[in-house]
Structure 1
């Protein structure tokens, strides 16, 4: 699995966010001892509040997307391993929800129990690195939406789609993947995808992204 996340700054320069796997694994090792494990179906909705308590979720296998409830936009998506619920513990729990993107294995525990474990084992440094990564992912996402052209946004989303697992790439069309994460019009998205395909820059079959040959910086 590729643990480098492609990003684009407003000047078109490539960049990568490196997922802090060592820190994530360390946190999961300590947190999972008090957690309840469960398996999801594909596209199963997961709420932060369970039995009247706020929870965090440890993603062991599969992938999960984070949605904004009021408009259904995907703010972030992560493949295992990852931890959801640490970085947004001060927000309204009804503002966001998660949905598995494929059958996944997850553990959950209450936020209060998780914070107690973090304090007991002095895991703050590892947690901070995960927080920085998560914040950077979401910051990059909204920077792209607000500062880049439609083509730049689509280019970045195609690169992110290629970083997804094969199971995800073969279960969602490129257009839907982009639409779920941006404010771009469907007609404009389809036009650019069609031109990239006809120009030999990407391979798309039945709407699914198969391969990227070369995506020019300018369109």
Structure 2
């Protein structure tokens, strides 16, 4: 494995972004009584009618991916707990749709109603923290795609995959996970994964990522 070099320990599974769990849980607690439940299965598109208007989605269990409408590419994904829709204060964000990654527990309520409850309970600061996190997540993902090498993109996505739930990691192959989120070819992804496996940097069984040991920073 000539091209891969060990360059010291890596912070496996860790991200520089800190998810605002306290703020998320505060909002979910106060919004849940006014929300309606949605029954879901794995890899189900969340497609409520436009007549419902702008909506807030509360993710209580499971995980959801945001996909681009034009090509289905996943631009971001989040595990529970989380809140989707806060960033639709000005636009509908009609260029993306949501899909569950596993059986998930979700509820929803109109954005206008959520805004009223947030104002009444003085929780706009918490809402702002969540929106800042969402913006940072999307920016980080797009920066990886536009500026990094193929190996750096795959390295980043392997860390993202290890941060997914066990249910997701046990059902979605590493190659498919990366392909759904990048512009890389499947053959290129498979080649790099094979070299990482051969070098003992990752553990993959039947295509499923089991463990990231120590990924080199350069390829």
Fold equivalence (TM over 0.5): yes
Residue 125 in structure 1 maps to residue 96 in structure 2: no
- Counterpart residue number, 1:168: 168
Counterpart CA distance in 2 for 1:175 and 1:41 is 22
Counterpart CA distance in 1 for 2:191 and 2:100 is 29
Residue 188 in structure 1 maps to residue 188 in structure 2: yes
Residues 52-78 of structure 1: CA deviation (Å, up to 9, x unaligned): 422110000111111111110111111
**CA shift at 1:153, angstroms?**
0.5
Please state whether the residue corresponding to 2:107 is helix, strand or coil: strand
The answer (yes or no) to whether the contact 2:13–2:162 under 8 Å persists in 1 is no
The answer (yes or no) to whether the contact 1:45–1:98 under 8 Å persists in 2 is yes
**CA shift at 1:48, angstroms?**
5.8
**CA shift at 1:38, angstroms?**
2.4
Counterpart CA distance in 2 for 1:50 and 1:110 is 11
Runs of 4+ in 1 over 6 A off after TM superposition: none
**CA shift at 1:194, angstroms?**
0.7
Q: Which runs of 5+ in 1 are unaligned?
A: 8-15
Counterpart CA distance in 2 for 1:5 and 1:112 is 36
Matches for 1:138-149 after TM superposition, within 5 Å: 138-149=138-149
For the aligned residue pairs, the C-alpha RMSD in angstroms reads 1.6
Q: Which runs of 5+ in 2 are unaligned?
A: 1-11
Paired residues, what number? 208
TM norm structure 1: 0.90
Greater relative contact order (Cα < 8 A, sep 6+): 2
Matches for 1:53-202 after TM superposition, within 5 Å: 53-202=53-202
Counterpart CA distance in 1 for 2:13 and 2:76 is 12
- Counterpart residue number, 2:8: none
TM norm structure 2: 0.90
